[in-house]
Amino acid sequence: MHDNHTTTSAAFWATLKRDLLIAFKKKNDVVNPFMFFIIVVSLFPIGISPESERLTEIAAGVIWISVLLASMLSMDSLYRSDYEDGSLEQLLLSPHPLFFLVLAKNISHWLVSGLPVVLVSPLLAYMLALPQEAYGTLVLSLLLGTPIMSLIGSIAVALTVGLGSRGLILAVITLPMSVPVLIFGTLAVQATLNSLSPVGYLSLMLVMLSVSISLAPLASAAALRISVN
């Protein structure tokens, strides 16, 4: 009877597959962060000034902040339906270490909501007249930054999983925490613009990322146990 029990890795992949499947079925989770990002960015030329000199100055900051917002708000969909329909309880009751299952959920969520935003950023960088040479750094810094924010966000989501509407409280909790990422991300881009090397900042973000990958899922798991209670 105990023969055909699943290995943890099997459970990991099953969870990852399932979440991707769900995301793929309700396309909103994929499209909305993306759309939101584009819309918010394009509000700034309207609200501030359409002149490209002005835009160039603010481009990096605006893109980074919009990404920050997009990924924070996309977190709302993580764990929510699982909590409402009880799948989360099933997850907590599985014999496998929660760390990996949570990690699987985070990864799939980032693939679905974080990655597309990063990939479209050069386009918007162009629209905001960011000098070409900074594109590479921008994308790289976003590639390193967005997973960090997803991982931090995941903790906040897990803490508020019981709440009906939590988009705002999520942002309120997590935006302050993502200030360091914002700082280093924008500094990296600025550095490239001043033709300095951004490597220092980027490697710092890499460190942050590896730390948060190894710690954040633990916190999320603990948070889930707390709030399903």
Partner 1 sequence: MWVWFSKLGSPKWFYELSGKWLPWLIAAMVIFMTIGLVWGLLFLPPDYQQGFTSRILIVHVAVAGTSLAFFPLMFVAGTITLVWRMKLADMVAKNAAILGAWFSFITLATGSLWGSVMWGTWWEWTDSRLVSMLFQLFLLLGVISLRSALEDSETAAKACALLSIVGCINVVIIKYSVEWWNTLHQVSSPVSMGNDSPNGPEFWIATLIMIIAVYLFLSVSLILSTRNEILERERRSQWVQELVLKS
Partner 2 sequence: MSSAAPNNHTESKNGETMLSARQLFCARDDRVLFKDLDFDLIEGQVLQVQGSNGSGKTTLMRILCGLNDNYEGSIKWYGQDIAEQAAGFFSSLLYIGHRVGVSKVLNPIENLRWSCSLLQAVSDEQIMNALKEVGLRGFEESPCYTLSAGQQQRVSLARLIISPARLWVLDEPFTTLDAKGVAQLENFLQSQAQSGGSVMVTTHHKLNIPQLNILSLG
* Distance (Å, whole) CA 180 – CA 68: 12
Scan for tokens 């909305």, then name that residue: 32
Query: Which parts of 191-210 interact with partner 2 (CB under 8 A)?
Result: none
CB of 129 to partner 1, least distance (A): 8
Cα–chain center distance at 88: 21
x-marked contacts with partner 2 along 77-96 as a string, rule CB under 8 A:
----xx-xxxx-xxxxxxxx
DSSP 2: -
Please give the residues from 7 up to 26 whose contact with partner 2 meets the rule CB under 8 A: 10-11, 14-15, 17-18, 21-22, 25-26
Which sign does the torsion angle of CA 79, 81, 82, 86 carry? positive
CA angle 140, 142, 15 (to 5 degrees): 110
Residue closer to partner 1 by CB (options 8, 42) is 42
CB of 84 to partner 2, least distance (A): 7
* Residues making contact with partner 2 (CB under 8 A): 1-2, 4-6, 10-11, 14-15, 17-18, 21-22, 25-26, 81-82, 84-87, 89-96, 228-229
